[in-house]
Amino acid sequence: MVIFRTLLLWLQAMQTQAVFQERISAFPAEATAILADIARQEGMLTAEQASQLKSIFNLSTADLMVKLLPVAAAISVAPISEFYVGVIAEGISGDLYFGANIEFLHQPLKVTLHAEQCAILNAWHKGEAKLVRLVVNEAPCGHCRQFINELNSADSIEIIIQHASEGVVRQYSLDDLLPKSFGPADLGLTDALMSPEQFDLTLPEEFAGDDLVKTAFEAAVNCHAPVCKSPAGVALKLKSGKIVAGRYASNAAFNPGATALEAAMVNWRLALLETQQDDIVEAVMVEQPTKVSQYALAESQLKDYGVELRYIAV
Ligand code: THU
Ligand code: ZN
């Protein structure tokens, strides 16, 4: 079963890469050369690369982002719906972050990662402080509108929707899309997702030389869990030696949030843009399971990949 899954994942990654290459090759050669860096940079373009593209195409940032949506949608893994959603998030730094929906065969539909979550998690894990704009190739669903409402930029973020079926592009505020909303302030929280808060955790000394554990620990320290106060981080070691991290991204509305493993899965898919076959070979979770724990869920999800989860409670 695990061999079958591994083969399937390998085929999926190959297909993602082929579609990505085809989409970037549709642009003029000088743009294609820059766009190829999206794969090397695990799903992002720097502000400088974005400016170069803006001058090649003579477009505003927003129009460039709309133009690049097919490249974002190429990252999608949607073997169940075959509905390929692409999102690009612009950070206050000017960097652009790509995201797409990620579906998991043989798992409950509930574990699906939406393109909006993927782009936002991508930006947050790369250290972006705040988002200014989100461009989507389909109207965001209610769960994604809530996820966006959990951000430190919920009041100011500009959302541009390319209504593909109607052939029009429109700009909205989050209040247009989610009026009379519930958000972090309703629970009296001042920190929102992407706020620079940190958990004060201590890693036992015995792990000081273990890079995988240290990465999971850093992810837990930098995670967002203001209600349950049960910080968690995951680190996945890939066959190539590369390590990807995932920080718990909890929501005030609880359910649309992403677990640390889900966040790590996003970063794994983004890492696969560069290297076709890069299986997960080791996994670590560092957690302070004060009120909740995501260990059992993550352990069972990783079993699907034939990977055992090492767990360190701090
Ligand atoms: N999807 C998104 O990625 N974002 C949305 O807000 C709408 C739905 C994805 C989830 C699933 O993979 C597919 O589209 C069909 O619902
Ligand atoms: Zn959604």
What is the assigned CATH class of domain 205-313?
Answer: alpha beta
**pLDDT of 248 above 70:** yes
Higher pLDDT, 166 or 125: 125
Side-by-side strand order, sheet with 280-287:
243-247, 232-238, 280-287, 309-313
For 80-128, how does the pLDDT look when each residue is reduced to its tens digit (9 = 90+)? 999 999 999 999 999 999 999 999 988 999 999 999 999 999 999 999 9
Cα 145 to averaged position of ligand 2 atoms, centre (Å) = 7
112: Cβ below 6 Å to ligand 1? yes
Active site residue 116: yes
The C-alpha atoms of residue 212 and residue 233 are separated, in whole angstroms, by: 11
Residue 11: its pLDDT value, please?
85
pLDDT (mean) for 260-265:
98
**Local confidence band at 156 (pLDDT 50, 70, 90 cut-offs):** very high
Superfamily holding 2-187: Cytidine Deaminase, domain 2 (3.40.140.10)
**Average pLDDT for the chain:** 95
Cβ(112)–Cβ(102) under 8 Å?
A: yes
Shortest-distance ligand to the CA of residue 161:
1
- pLDDT tens profile 33-62: 999 999 999 999 999 999 999 999 999 999
Ligand nearest to the CA of 101: 1
Fold match, 2-187 / 205-313: yes
- Name which residue leads in pLDDT, 152 or 106: 152
For the chain, which residues make up each domain, given as ranges?
2-187, 205-313
Question: 137 CA distance to ligand 2 centroid (A)?
Answer: 12
**173 against 278, higher pLDDT:** 173
What does DSSP say about strands 131-136 and 158-163: parallel, antiparallel, or unpaired? parallel
**pLDDT higher than threshold 90 for residue 278:** no
Candidate list 90, 103, 116, 287, residue with the active-site label: 116
For residue 305, what are its two tokens?
Answer: 């990949």
User: For residue 5, is pLDDT > 80?
Assistant: no
Q: How high is the pLDDT of residue 1?
A: 65
> Which among 290, 232, 270 is positioned nearest to 72, based on CA atoms?
270
Looking at residue 115, its pLDDT comes to 98
Ligand 1 pocket test, pick from 105, 138, 146 with the greatest ligand atom count within 8 Å of Cβ, gives 138
CA-to-CA distance for 299 and 295, rounded, in angstroms? 6
What is the rounded CA–CA span in Å between residue 272 and residue 19?
A: 13
Contact between residue 245 and residue 125 where contact means Cβ atoms under 8 Å apart: yes
Cβ–ligand 1 distance for 114 under 6 Å, the answer: yes
